[in-house]
Amino acid sequence: MTYVPIIPHTPQPPSPRARELADQIARVIATFEDAHPAVTKGEVRQAAQLALRTTSSSGAEVVPVVLMLVLLVGVVAYFVLGAG
């Protein structure tokens, strides 16, 4: 029998700049949702994707940012929908 070691991937904690950007994005989303209560999670996701397309990021940088934005949208939606 062959032994295949499993090495768990331990993600690096986000950098201070990433945390600052995440906080700013979360505040913008929350402010927009306060002004437009009918906005859906799908619309926020589409807006994030559109915003990423207009930035001058390379393809390698876009994937982590999109994942972060989707995570932020999920967290904001959890708190907004869970609080109601």
Per-residue pLDDT of the chain (84 residues; tens, 9 = 90+): 788 888 887 778 888 998 898 888 888 888 988 999 898 888 888 888 888 777 765 556 667 777 778 888 877 777 777 755
Residue 59's pLDDT is what? Answer: 59
Give the chain's domain count. 1
Beta carbons within 10 angstroms of residue 61's beta carbon:
12
Residue 36: inside a domain, yes or no?
yes
- pLDDT at position 41 is 87
Tell me if 42 is assigned to some domain.
yes
Name the residue range of residue 77's domain: 16-83
Do the domain assignments include residue 78? yes
pLDDT score for 84: 52
Token pair belonging to 53? 């397309």
With respect to residue 52, please indicate whether it lies within any of the assigned structural domains. yes
Could you tell me which of 82, 1, 72, 80 has the C-alpha nearest to residue 34? 80
What local confidence, expressed as pLDDT, does residue 78 receive? 76
Q: Which two tokens stand for residue 29?
A: 């989303």
What is d(CA 25, CA 56) in angstroms, rounded to the nearest whole number?
A: 17
